[in-house]
Structure 1
Amino acid sequence: MVVLTLLEKCYSFRWRHFLKIFESTLSPLIEGLEVQFKILGKTGENWIQVEVFGSDVPVVTRYLDLKFGLAPVSLENLNVFEEVRGKIVDARRVGYGLYVDVGVSSPRHIDVLLPLHILRSQLGNGKKLSVTNLVEAFALYDNHPLTIQVTSIDRTKGKIEGRLSSSQYSLFEEWVSLDFDRILVLGRPFTEVHRVVKRSNFERDVIKVLPLGFLEQLLLCKLGTEGPGIINGIGSMLPRTPLHCFSPKKARIIREDP
C-alpha cells in the first residue's frame, strides 16, 4: 500500500463533488491492473491524495506520475535542474517574482519562486516589466498550471527558485506567435466546460476546449474572435469561476520597445 500526493489540485466551492468526478476519471485509467485505490481527500494546499494497494502498485505509481505528476512532498526529494509541475499561487503576492506550488510540504510548505528578472528574460524580452504586467499579459493567475525547472535550492533556509521549463517557455511562445485569443477557465472539470460551450451561442467561436489540468481548461478561440466577448457570454453559466483571457496582441505589445 502506498499513499500518493498527485500534482492535481481540487479546489473551488464544489470541491467535494469534483473529487467524485476525479475518482470516476481515474477508475478506467487503471482498469485491468491488479490494484485498488481510494481517494483520501486533499491536502491543506488542495493537492489530491490517493491510496493505492495491490500487486501492480509500482506500475500504477509510475503511470500516475506520468499522467498527473507526483508531489515531491519532502524538500529532500527535489533536486536542482529537475522539472516539475505546479500551480501558481498568490499571483500578485510580491513584486519580485511569481510563486508556484509544486507540492513541497516538509519540513514545511515551500513554494518555488520564479524571480522577476527570470520572468522578464523568458516572457518579456528582457524589458523592465512588473509582475502585474506579466500576470495580466500571460494570464498567470492562481492555479494556472506550469511546468518549471528548479534552478537553486537552499535546504538550510528552505528556499527554492526556478524558471519556466523549455516546454513551458515554448508553449507561451506559440501562444504569442499565433493570433488566437485563449480563455483560461480555472476551477471547473473538462466535462462541465465543454458542456457549457456546446450549450452557449458561442460554440461556433471556439475551436476546441483543451485540458491543462483536472480543473483548468483552455478555450481556443477562432481567428478574429475576441476572448472578452466569450467571457461575457459564458460567465453567467460558470458562476464563481475565474475566467481569464490571453490576448497574443497584448502580449506582443508589452514586449515591444517604446
Structure 2
Amino acid sequence: MVVLATKVYVQGDARERALDGLRSLVDNAVGDLDVEYTVGVRRDDFAVVTLEGDDEVVARNLLREEWGEITPDMRPGETYVGTLESWDEDGIVLDAGEDVRIPASELGLGQGTPVQIVERFGLVQHVPLRFVYGGEGGDDGESSPPRLADEERDRLYEWTRGTGRVNVNSATRGEVRATVNRAGHARDIVTVERLGLLEQSVVCKDETDPPGLLAAIGDYLPAEIRCVIP
C-alpha cells in the first residue's frame, strides 16, 4: 500500500470524478506492470493505492516518485512531501500525515511574511510541497526545524521568472482545461500543469494577464485561485 502525498477533499460527484482521474493516472504509471491495484481515500483525505503482484515493489516506487509518499517514519534531514494546510504571520503548516510547521525563517523565499509569500507565489491550500524534515542534531542534541526543500524553492522561484500563472485547487486538470475553454481563453495559455490531483497551475502565454485570466475563469470554478505575476 502507498499513501500518496495528495488529497481528495472534494465531495459528491466531484469526489467520484477525482477518483476516476486518479485511477487513470495510476494506470498510466503502473498499468504495464504485473500488478493489480485499487484506489481509495484515507480518513484524513490522503489518496491510497493498494498494490498486489510480482511488480508490487516497482509499482510502489514509481508512484512514490511521482506523487510523494506519506509515511509515519520521517527521518531528520530527509526530504518528504506535505500538502499546504495553513499559514500565518509566523510560518506555514504542511500536512504530511502529521502537522509539520515550517517557520518563516526556514522558507527561503525572500522578503515578506509567510502570508505575503503565499500570495506572491500563488500558493493555494492543499498544494503539495517538498520539505526537509528537521535536520541532524547539533551539539546540544536539538534538531533544527523543518525547512522548505531546495528543489521546492527553485521551482517556486522559477514560477516568478516565467510568463505568469493562475493556480487553482478543488479541480482536476481536465476540469480546469474545460473551464479555460468554456471561458474562451484556450489560446491565452500554454498548458495546465498538474501540481497535485486537485491542484493545478495554468501557465499563461507572454501576452496574457494572469489577474485577467483569474477574473475570467473564477466564476466557473468553486475553488481557491491565486495568481503568480512575473
Same fold (TM over 0.5): yes
Query: Percent same amino acid at aligned positions?
Result: 26
Q: Secondary structure at the match of 1:171?
A: helix
1:114 aligns to 2:96 (yes or no): no
Relative distance call for 1:160 and 1:186 in structure 2 (3 A) is farther
- 1:24, 1:43 → 2: CA distance? 19
Amino acid corresponding to residue 123 of structure 1 in structure 2: L
Partner SS, residue 123 of structure 1? coil
| Residues 73-105 of structure 1: CA deviation (Å, up to 9, x unaligned) | x2xx2111211112100233xx321011123xx
Are the counterparts in 2 of residues 181 and 246 from structure 1 also a CA contact under 8 Å? yes
The amino acid of 2:9's aligned partner reads Y
Helix, strand or coil at the partner of 2:177 = helix
1:83 corresponds to which letter in structure 2? T
- TM-score scaled to structure 1, two decimals? 0.79
Quick one: distance in 2 between partners of 1:86 and 1:160?
18
Q: Could you say what secondary structure the match of 1:37 adopts?
A: strand
**Match for residue 30 of structure 1?**
30
Question: How far did 1:228 drift?
Answer: 1.6
Note the aligned Cα RMSD (angstroms): 2.1
- How many pairs does the alignment contain? 223
Give 3-state SS (helix, strand or coil) of 1:223's partner.
coil
Contact 2:29–2:62 under 8 Å retained in 1: no
174 and 17 in structure 1: CA distance in 2 versus 1, 3 angstrom threshold: closer
Q: Which residue of 2 aligns with 1:9?
A: 7
Is the aligned partner of 1:162 residue 2:123?
Answer: no
Aligned to 1:254: none
Unaligned stretches of 5+ residues in structure 2: 138-142
* Contact persistence 2:84–2:128 (CA under 8 A): yes
Dislocated runs of 4+, deviation >3 Å: none
Q: Secondary structure at the match of 2:99?
A: strand
Q: How far off is 1:153 after superposition?
A: 8.5
SS in structure 1 at match of 2:146: strand
Aligned to 1:252: none
Checking the alignment, whether the CA contact within 8 Å between 2:76 and 2:134 is kept in structure 1 is: yes
- How does 1:61-76 map onto structure 2 within 5 Å? 61-72=60-71, 74=72
User: Any conservation in 2 of the 1:86–1:100 contact (CA below 8 Å)?
Assistant: yes
Counterpart residue type for residue 182 of structure 1? R
Other-structure match for 2:120: 137
User: Hey, what does 1:234 align to over in structure 2?
Assistant: 217
Contact 2:76 2:133 in 1 (8 A): yes
Distance change in 2, residues 1:131/1:84 (3 Å) = same
Indicate how the Cα distance of structure 1 residues 102 and 153 shifts in structure 2: closer, same or farther if over 3 A, else same.
farther
Given residue 85 of structure 2, which amino acid in structure 1 is its aligned partner?
Answer: V
Hey, what's the Cα distance between the residues in 1 that align with 2:151 and 2:214?
A: 28
Per the TM alignment, residue 160 of structure 1 is displaced from its structure 2 partner at its CA by: 8.7
Looking at structure 2, the residues matched to 221 and 32 of structure 1 have their Cα atoms a distance apart, in angstroms, of 34
> Counterpart of 2:55 in structure 1: which amino acid?
D
Q: Equivalent of 1:88, from 84, 90, 109?
A: 84
Output the CA distance in 1 between the equivalents of 2:25 and 2:117.
Answer: 34
How far, CA to CA, are the matches of 1:132 and 1:66 in structure 2?
30
